[in-house]
Structure 1
Amino acid sequence: MSRLSQRTYPVARRLAEQLTAALALPAAQQPHWPDPVRARAVAGLLHHARPIVTRDETARLHDRLATVARGEAFLLQGGDCAETFADNTESHLRANLRVLQRMGEVLGRAAGRPVVTVARMAGQYAKPRSRAVDALGLPAYRGDSVNSAEPTPAARRPDPHRMLRAHANAAVAMDVVRGAGAGEVYVSHEMLLLDYERAVLSVDTSGPEPRLSSGLAHFLWIGERTRQLGGAHVAFAELLSNPIGLKIGPDVTPEQAVEYVRRLDPHGTPGRLTLVSRMGHTLVRELLPPIVEKVSASGHEVVWQCDPMHGNTRTSANGYKTRHFDHVLGELAGFFEVHRRLGTHPGGIHVEVAGEDVTECLGGAGGITETDLPARYRTACDPRLNAEQSVELAHTVAELLCARERP
Structure 2
Amino acid sequence: MALTTANSLHRPTAPTVAAAAAAAAAKSSYLIKPTLVSAFPTIATPQTFTRIKPKTKPISAVKSSNPPPTTTTTPPPKRWSLDSWKSKPAFQLPEYPDKDGLESVLQTLESFPPIVFAGEARSLEERLGQAALGNAFLLQGGDCAESFKEFNAVNIRDTFRVLLQMSVVLTFGGQMPVIKVGRMAGQFAKPRSDQFEEKDGVKLPSYRGDNVNGDVFDEKSRVRDPHRMIRAYTQSVATLNLLRAFATGGYAAMQRVTQWNLDFTEHSEQGDKYNELAHRVDEALGFMGACGLTADHPVMTTTEFWTSHECLLLPYEQALTREDSTTGLYYDCSAHMLWVGERTRQLDGAHVEFLRGVANPLGIKVSDKMDPKELVKLIEILNPQNKPGRITVITRMGAENMRVKLSHLIRAVRGAGQIVTWVSDPMHGNTIKAPCGLKTRSFDAIRAELRAFFDVHDQEGSYPGGVHLEMTGQNVTECVGGSRTITYNDLSSRYHTHCDPRLNASQSLELAFNIADRLRKRRLGSQPAVGSDVTSGVPYPVSPILAWSLDSWKSKPAWQLPEYPDKDGLETVLRTIESFPPIVFAGEARSLEERLGQAALGNAFLLQGGDCAESFKEFNADKVRDTFRVLLQMSVVLMFGGQMPVIKVGRMGGQFAKPRSSPFEEKDGVKLTNYRGDAVNGYAFDEKLRIPDPHRMIRAYTQSVATLNLLRAFATGGYAAIQRVTQWNLDFTEQGDKYNELANRVNEALGFMAACALTREDSTTGLYYDCSAHMLWVGERTRQLDGAHVEFLRGVANPIGIKVSEKMDPNELVKLIDILNPQNKPGRITVITRMGAENLRLKFPYLIGAVRGAGQIVTWVTDPMHGNAIKAPCGLRTRPFDTIRDEVIAFFDVHDQEGSYPGGVYLEMTGQNVTECVGGYCEITYDDLNSRYHTHCDPRLNASQSLELAFIIAERLRKRRLGL
Residue identity in the other structure for 1:329? R
SS at match of 1:347: strand
- Counterpart amino acid of residue 263 in structure 1: I
Match 2:205 to one of 120, 124, 139: 139
Please tell me whether residue 357 in structure 1 is matched to residue 397 in structure 2: no
Match of 1:4 in 2: none
Match of 1:113 among 176, 187, 201: 176
Structure 1 residue corresponding to 2:82, chosen from 13, 19, 24: 19
1:195 aligns with 315
Q: Does 1:86 align with 2:140?
A: no
Q: Is structure 2 residue 490 aligned with structure 1 residue 372?
A: yes
Whole-Å Cα distance in 2 between the matches of residues 81 and 233 of structure 1? Answer: 20
Deviation at 1:135?
4.2
Is 1:58 aligned with 2:121?
yes
Distance in 1, matches of 2:54 and 2:98, equals 30
Residue 18 of structure 1: how far off its partner (Å)? 2.4
- CA shift at 1:201, angstroms? 1.6
Find 2:331's aligned residue among 200, 213, 232.
Answer: 213
Q: State the match for 2:241 in structure 1.
A: 175
Paired residue type of 1:254: P
Q: Deviations over 1:263-314 (max 9, x none)?
A: 1111010000000000112210001101001101222211100000001111
TM-score (norm 2): 0.40
Structure 1 stretches of 5 or more lacking a match?
A: 1-9
Query: How far off is 1:138 after superposition?
Result: 2.5
Once the 2 structures are TM-superposed, how far is the Cα of residue 261 of structure 1 from its aligned partner? 1.1
Indicate if the aligned counterparts of 1:187 and 1:219 stay in contact, CA closer than 8 A.
Answer: yes
TM-score by length of 1: 0.94
- Confirm or deny: 8 A CA contact 2:52 2:81 kept in the other structure: no
Give me the whole-angstrom Cα distance separating, in 2, the residues matched to 1:326 and 1:84.
28
Picking from 266, 272, 296, the partner of 2:390 is 272
Equivalent residue letter for 1:124: Q
SS of residue matched to 2:467: strand
Deviations 1:151-197, CA, capped at 9 Å, x for gaps: 21100111000001100110000111101133211001110001111
Pick the structure with greater CA Rg: 2
1:305 aligns to what SS in structure 2?
A: strand
In 2, Cα distance between equivalents of 1:62 and 1:125: 23
Q: Helix, strand or coil: the match of 2:231?
A: helix
User: Following TM superposition, by how much is the alpha carbon of 1:89 offset from its aligned partner in structure 2, in angstroms?
Assistant: 0.8
Partner of 2:517: 399
Offset at residue 390 of structure 1 (A): 0.2
- Tell me if structure 2 keeps the 8 A contact 1:15–1:211: no
Q: Distance in 1 between matches of 2:430 and 2:336?
A: 28
| Counterparts of 1:24 and 1:166, CA distance in 2 | 26
Task: Give yes or no for the alignment of 1:68 onto 2:128.
Answer: no
Give me the whole-angstrom Cα distance separating, in 2, the residues matched to 1:383 and 1:206.
42
Answer yes or no: is 1:235 the counterpart of 2:353: yes
Match of 2:104 in 1: 41
Structure showing greater relative contact order (alpha-carbon pairs closer than 8 Å, 6 or more residues apart)? 1
TM-superposed CA distance for 1:58, in Å, is 1.3
Q: Which letter maps to 2:82? A: L
Distance in 2 of aligned mates of 1:178 and 1:214: 19
Bigger drift between 36-45 and 217-226 goes to 36-45
SS in 1 for 2:131: helix
Letter in 1 for 2:142: G
Query: Is the contact between residue 51 and residue 81 of structure 2 (CA under 8 Å) also seen in structure 1?
Result: no
Shift of 1:206: 6.0
Stretches of 4+ aligned residues off by more than 4 angstroms? 14-17
Q: How many residues align?
A: 396
Aligned-partner Cα distance in 2 for 1:12–1:28: 24
Superposed, which structure 2 residues align to 1:293-304 within 5 Å?
293-304=411-422
Extract unaligned runs of 5+ from structure 2.
Answer: 1-49, 57-79, 253-302, 527-964
1:101 equivalent to 2:164? Answer yes
Alpha-carbon contact 1:81-1:383 (below 8 Å) kept:
yes
Distance 2:385 2:341 in 1: 23
Match of 1:226 in 2: 344
Could you tell me which of 366, 389, 393 is aligned with 1:248?
Answer: 366
Give the partner amino acid of 1:390.
S
Distance in 1 separating the partners of 2:481 and 2:55? 49
* 1:253 Cα deviation from its structure 2 partner: 0.8
Could you tell me how far 1:343 is from its partner in structure 2?
0.6
Q: 2:191: which partner in 1?
A: 128
1:334 aligns with 2:374: no
Instruction: State the shift of 1:43 in Å.
Output: 1.1
The answer on whether the counterparts of 1:12 and 1:203 sit within 8 Å (CA) in structure 2 is no
Quote the residue 1:185 is aligned against: 305
Query: SS at the partner of 1:163?
Result: helix
Kept in 2: contact 1:254–1:290 (CA 8 A): yes
Identity of aligned residues (%): 43
Deviation of 1:403 after TM superposition, in Å, equals 2.5
C-alpha separation in 2, matches of 1:95 and 1:135: 35
Q: Distance in 1 between matches of 2:398 and 2:447?
A: 10
**Any idea what SS the aligned residue of 2:486 has?**
coil
Read off the aligned partner of 2:235 and give its amino acid letter: N
Q: In 1, Cα distance between the equivalents of 2:311 and 2:236?
A: 14
Q: Does 1:162 align with 2:280?
A: no
Which string of whole-angstrom CA distances, capped at 9 and with x for unpartnered residues, describes residues 70-120 of structure 1?
111000000000001122211000000001111111111111100000000
Contact 1:15 1:212 in 2 (8 A): no
Contact (CA 8 Å) 1:358, 1:376: kept in 2 or not?
yes
Instruction: Find the residue that maps to 1:379 and give its secondary structure.
Output: coil
What is the alpha-carbon root mean square deviation over aligned residues?
Answer: 1.6
Q: Once the 2 structures are TM-superposed, how far is the Cα of residue 380 of structure 1 from its aligned partner? A: 1.7
Classify the secondary structure of the residue corresponding to 1:226: coil
Which amino acid in 2 is paired with 1:376? R
Matched to 1:202, the amino acid is R
- In the alignment, is residue 281 of structure 1 matched against residue 399 of structure 2? yes
> What corresponds to 1:77 in structure 2?
140
Cα drift, residue 131 of structure 1: 2.1
Q: Secondary structure at the match of 1:245?
A: strand
> Letter of the aligned partner of 2:237 in structure 1?
A
Letter in 2 for 1:53: V
1:3 corresponds in structure 2 to none
SS of the residue corresponding to residue 221 of structure 1 reads strand
* Equivalent position amino acid for 1:165 in 2: R
Shift, 1:322, TM fit? 0.7
Cα displacement string for residues 18-43 of structure 1 (whole angstroms, at most 9, x for unaligned residues): 23222221111111101222212211
Residue 320 of structure 1 is matched in structure 2 by 438
SS across alignment from 1:380 = coil
